[in-house]
A and B are shown apart, each in its own frame.
Chain A
Amino acid sequence: MDLRFTPEELAFRDEVRAFFAANLPPSICTKLVEGKRLTKDDIVTWQRILNKKGWAVANWPVEWGGTGWSPVQQYIFQEQLQLTPAPQPLGFGVTMVGPVIIAFGSQAQKKRHLPAIANLDVWWCQGFSEPGAGSDLASLRTAAKREGDHYVVNGQKTWTTLAQHADWIFCLVRTDPQAKKQEGISFLLIDMKTPGITVRPIITIEGGHEVNEVFFDDVKVPCENLVGQENRGWDYAKYLLGRERTGIARVGLSKERVRRIKELAGMERAGDKPLIEDERFREKLAALEVELKALEMTQLRVVAAERHRTDNKPDPASSILKIKGSEIQQATTELLLEVVGPYAIPFQPEHEDDERWNEPPVGPEWAGPIAPTYFNWRKTSIYGGSNEIQKNIIAKAILGL
């Protein structure tokens, strides 16, 4: 047992760091530090830089452009992205639909889609949730009826993140309405330019446009866009959701936020001293750091155990990552809100809109995005299977209750 990184792992970390330092456009880094929203162009630019280096799809098999890194290296890479901070390669392609196509897709699908995912030539979004199918995802009703060499899709998806940028959507659709609810579902790839698709924005409480509704009205999808077998889509979805064991806690992101909290609390004054010297504030921050340290160690336990993994049974420690990771991320946004104090109050939509960001800020120049980030981050304990659903899963799969 040696919980330190090996000299080789440390050298790898330094290599990653050095590449990021030399190649990440500073304007993108600054936006992330300040909690401002990235444009589509920011995300594409960075992913292409990574792809040129061969690092955009680090988690994929080498055959399809992956790196062959060990789980620990993958973890270090992820953590450095978050600490720098740099944008993550677009998850909908790189960690979601890409691995599903690699595992279950046809050769033609792989050739067509994988290189475009890696270079972000094609922006993917995820069509899982529906108005009537949230936590109970398997009750989804969007129907795909087979007619000759294509499916006709009718229905509605919702909470579709960044669908406004998307070229393609991967969807769970019902292909057998008679079967038991998990057994009549298929995994379909759909071109967003197909006639009959309408995207409508949903504005979330902080004022941002991140998620959308997507309507399908007699949308014709060629049968060749079915992934794997018809009616096996639920298995592929579970594979997709179960794969991301290590990234979900986002320890690096919370570490970077803690750094930011300390920086800003050193600038804000509370009475005759900086807020960072306030005893009660320091205790709250210390408590958060203890939890974060525990989560980091838990995360590393899961990462280190990856190499022994022979089945798909979750490590008991991994069950914590989503729940605790989201709680801690939310706690960082709460502390930032506390740091900004009354200058959390002005609503400054400029930070949503690059064009208008030159307007003079109200109050400290870093205050604008802080309250919106706090409001926005409530999503983390809801998405990806709410924390309550996670607890149901743990109770059943790990505790056998």
Chain B
Amino acid sequence: MDFDLSEEQRLLKESLERLTAERYAFEQRRTYGRSREGWSRELWAQYAELGLLGLPFAERYGGSSGGPVETMIAMEAFGRALALEPYLATVVLGGGFLRHAGSAEQCAALIPKIAGGSLTAAFAHTERHSRYDLADIETRAVRDGSGWVLDGEKGIVLHGDSADQLIVTARTAGGRRDRDGIGVFIVDGASEGVSRRGYPTQDGLRAAEISFAQVRVGPEGVLGEPEAALPLVERVVDEAIAALCAEAVGAMAAMHELTVEYLKTRRQFGREIGSFQILQHRAVDMLIALEQARSMAMFATMMAAEENAAERRNALSAAKVQIGRSGKFVGQQAVQLHGGIGMTMEYKLGHYFKRVTMIDTIFGDADHHLRELARRGVSGAPG
């Protein structure tokens, strides 16, 4: 039982803190967000230089063989900085599919480019009707000689507008919500038949609606079992949930600090508003919500690598419930305690609130995961 970071992990945390302090002031973030892609290529190159883009990958592909803890450290720092870059989409999701299912050729072709910063990816999975059901897929993949032909519509593809490679789920067999008959394909974003409509998200990031019309994928574009890839999708999504939990904790911690600072400086009725007991207790309630979320983000990190899929899924669902509930409470109360200033676009706080609100809707909100837990029964105790 040990919650301490190793020496290397501590150094990673410090270098991330330095980088985001220097390069991610609120004004700088605004500038990055106004660029065409909505994030900073220059910073992306710096992430590559620092080894952040290779964190989870094997050394032979230019990575540093980190695990979920390294990803947690990075994502928490990005949450604090409100980073705009496609780290989740490229390294966690795209990289996750390659790590778990990529052939030696696929890994050798793509991972070094991800780690080096020259390739970005996005996970094209959600469809208009599918909500949070990972098996609810209508997009079709039909065999065509040694390859496949894809047809369908994907939505809310995070960073899908600028991604070089798209990781696409499609139905190779069975009906719309069957667990079997799902395949995962790597599709070059520039392929014929791919059309993308990019747009800004509520929280200042980018996403896309993407349609696939008779898109041809060669055998080298198949990831894992083309007719039984749902367990792979679940595995990678669970890793992404753990990463999102850490990001949300970074954002919540920043909101809590801003709020406590505000309570100490804002004066009304001739005194600091932090001297009022009702506001003190609210700040304590926020702290409790934050620390419970932090505990569950750690739990998610620990369980993300769990081999037993049922245990892992339950643990990640439990974490997502806690993060969703804590995020909503901390975010809403942070805005409330700031009063009018918390409502303004020009102040940082509201942007954190928007980010944690959107995180709840990625890969299942608190209610969705609570229902899942109720159906399956909670388990996965360390003790």
Contacts and interface: CB of A to CB of B under 8 A. Distances in A.
A76 B381 CA distance: 13
A297 B374 contact: no
A179 interface: no
A319 B371 CA distance: 30
B1 A6 contact: yes
A6 B1 CA distance: 6
Interface in B366-383: 370-371, 373-375, 377-378, 380-383
B84 interface: no
A167 interface: no
Given A297-B296, A301-B3, A3 B382 contact: yes
Interface string B1-38: 11111100100000000000000000000000000000
B307 to A, nearest CB: 13
Given A1-B9, A293-B296, A304 B322 contact: no
A15 to B, nearest CB: 15
B260 A400 contact: yes
Interface string A287-324: 10111011111101101110000000000110110011
A5 B378 CA distance: 20
B287 A319 contact: yes
Interface size on A, as a range, is 35 or more
The A interface is mostly helix, strand or loop, or mixed, namely helix
Contacts of B260: 399-401
Residue from B1, B4, B370 with most neighbouring chain A CB atoms (10 Å): B1
Contact of B295 (A76, A294, A388): A294
A282 B298 contact: no
A118 to B, nearest CB: 27
A290 B3 contact: no
A171 B183 CA distance: 71
Contacts of A79: 383
Contact of B374 (A286, A294, A319, A323): A286
Interface stretch (B161-169, B210-218, B275-283): B275-283
A245 B236 CA distance: 38
Residue from A13, A320, A401 with most neighbouring chain B CB atoms (10 Å): A401
B5 to A, nearest CB: 6
Given A3-B302, A320-B292, A289 B373 contact: yes
A323 B292 CA distance: 12
Contacts of A304: 1-4
B22 to A, nearest CB: 27
Given A294-B295, A301-B298, A305-B3, A398 B275 contact: no
The B interface is mostly helix, strand or loop, or mixed, namely helix
B107 interface: no
Interface string A315-335: 011011001100000000000
B292 A291 contact: yes
Contacts of B263: 401
B176 to A, nearest CB: 24
Contacts of B280: 391-392, 395, 399, 401
Given A283-B374, A300-B1, A399-B287, 17 more contacts: A1-B3, A2-B1, A5-B1, A72-B1, A79-B383, A286-B377, A286-B378, A289-B373, A290-B296, A295-B295, A297-B382, A298-B291, A300-B382, A320-B287, A320-B291, A395-B284, A401-B275
Interface of B: 1-6, 9, 69, 260, 263-264, 274-275, 277, 279-281, 283-285, 287-288, 291-296, 298-299, 301-302, 318, 321-322, 370-371, 373-375, 377-378, 380-383
27 contacts: A1-B298, A1-B301, A3-B299, A4-B302, A5-B1, A9-B1, A13-B383, A283-B370, A283-B374, A289-B318, A290-B378, A293-B378, A293-B380, A293-B381, A294-B295, A297-B299, A300-B1, A301-B298, A304-B2, A320-B287, A395-B280, A395-B283, A399-B280, A400-B260, A400-B264, A401-B264, A401-B275
